[in-house]
Every structure is written in structure tokens, then in C-alpha cells.
Amino acid sequence: MRAVFHESYGGPEVLQVGERPDPVVGPDSVLVRVRAAGVNPVDFKIGAGYLQGAFPSFLPTIAGWDAAGVVEAVGPAVRDLAVGDEVLGYVRKDFVRDGCYAELVAGAQRHWALKPPAVSWEAAGALPLAGLTALQSLEAVRAGAGDTVLVHAASGGVGHLAVQIAVARGARVIGTASERNHDFVRSLGAEPVQYGDGLVDAVRALAPEGVDAAVDYVGGDAITQSAELAKDPARTASNVDPQAVAEAGGLYCFVTPDARQLASLAALVADGTVRVEVQEAFPLERAADAWTAQVDGHVRGKLVLAV
């Protein structure tokens, strides 16, 4: 199969496209022919070698943790999926080596959910990791109807989905973003505020008593700002810096695969409650360009690879 992989650690320049062995289909695994693969900040962090202390890592590494495609084969113990099913999945394994930037990817049955026909391949490939991160962090802070929820990085890959999920749950959402993305954040159902200096005052102007919950996907000052603005710092969460968020009294969220939750997210996309903003779809051969765009920041929504 063709795949994007790296044989050393570094930036986008280490990526190469070439032939790699087809994945092995285990007893409870599903082989998927990929149509679209999500591009996430964690991908280039893995490429730089930053996660070697968190997961056993092996070179050469095929990048990518989420994908959408068509089931090509199933192991003998698989019951819920069949050849020909259209699926999407957050395919994070217990080691880093066999990722989703490829024509084929194998993952356990628990990684995959059925893709509704109304969801495009690009949206399906972009949704799993970011959508599950958004959903699980909102559940961690118990965001629900009647709450005022602060979402940091509200125009980004995770943030724009978190805004919409929180709104769908009946929350009022205040979202931080650069001024050029304020109209986009409004279109998602949130009240935008400029991030950076003055954020606390800007949020208090909208919510004088503070916010009920806050979720952060950028780190840095946003973690302490969340704690300052939240009525209860225990209802703040971040997926960026476990030590900093713990010191601020909040929760660290690291996304885990969950086929049931993924199916519920796909249903929200299918019925139009949530839209997945795909800024650009790159061919597999331009994966390095996708990484460069992701490293540069300021991506509105998600980037994907069309395989």
C-alpha cells in the first residue's frame, strides 16, 4: 500500500510517500481502505518525537490517528461490522507506528463506527479525534443545558466542534478566537471574544458572575484564565498541559477511542446539528504541506488528506 511515513524524527521535511507493507488483520480487527484521514496537531508532535515518553514508538512510523473509509476485511471475531461498510474511526493504538495516512489501516472493532450516508468522506475523516476530544472534555466538565461555557480556541479543529456540541446541549457558549474568526464563531452559535490580554475582562463583560464550565484546547494562559473565570475551577478542563491544569484545580483530558460516542457524533453531523469545517483537503502526496499549515497555526476547523 501507499502511505505517508517518516524514518526519523523532525518537521514536515521528514515525511515521505512510498510503499509500506499492508496491515495485518487480527482476530478482532477491521481492515479499512481509507478515503480520508484527519490531520491533527498531535501528528506533527509525534513526528517531532515528542510522544516517545507517552507511547512505545517505532520507526518507520506511518502518521495519523483518524480516518474514514470502506471495510475491506474483518477478523473472525468481528460481529458488528462487515465488508463494504462505510466507517470512521479514531484508531489510536497502544504504540505509535501504524497510522492512518495510508491507503489501508487496520484497527480493533472498538475504534470504528458506521458512517452515515449523509456525512461526506472529508467530514468523516476529520471528525473522530477532534470530535471525541470535544465531547469527552465537555462531559468531563458536565456542560449542559443552562450553563455558560467558555471554549478556548473556538475556531480550531476541536474548538469549533465543542462550541456546536455545547450549543446542542442547551448551553450558552462564549468562544475565544482571533478577530478574523469572530464571524465564523458566531455562525457556530457562540459569542466570540478576542484571546490574549484582556480576555478575562472581555468574558466578564458578557458573564459578570463568571462561567459555569470552561474547556481549553490551546494551553498557556488559557488554563489560568479558565480557573479565574469559572465559578468552580473543578469544572475546567484542558487537553494540553496536565500539570498546569491540575495546579489550577481543573481536569486533564486525553481522548480515548469510543465507538458509541463516535456514532453519536456522526449522527449529529448527519442531521445538521454539527458541521465539520474542513479548511482544506490535501492529496496524500502533499501531507508535508498539510503539516506545514498545521504547524503554522490559524487553521479554521480541520485539515484532511484525501486518499
pLDDT tens digits for range 172-223: 999 999 999 999 999 999 999 999 889 999 999 999 999 999 999 999 999 9
Burial of 69 (0-12, 13-18, 19+ CB in 10 A): buried
Residue carrying C-alpha cell 466570540: 192
pTM recorded for the entire structure? 0.96
In the DSSP assignment, the letter for residue 196 is S
Output the pLDDT for position 169. 98
Strands 29-39 and 66-74: antiparallel
Cβ-contact 177, 160 below 8 angstroms: no
Is pLDDT at 55 greater than 90 in this prediction?
no
CA distance 166 to 176: 14
- pLDDT tens digits, one per residue of 222-247: 999 999 999 999 999 999 999 999 99
- Sheet with 172-177: strands ordered across: 191-194, 172-177, 148-151, 213-216, 236-238, 251-252
What DSSP string describes 218-265?
A: S-THHHHHHHHHBSSGGGEEESS-HHHHHHTT-EE------HHHHHHH
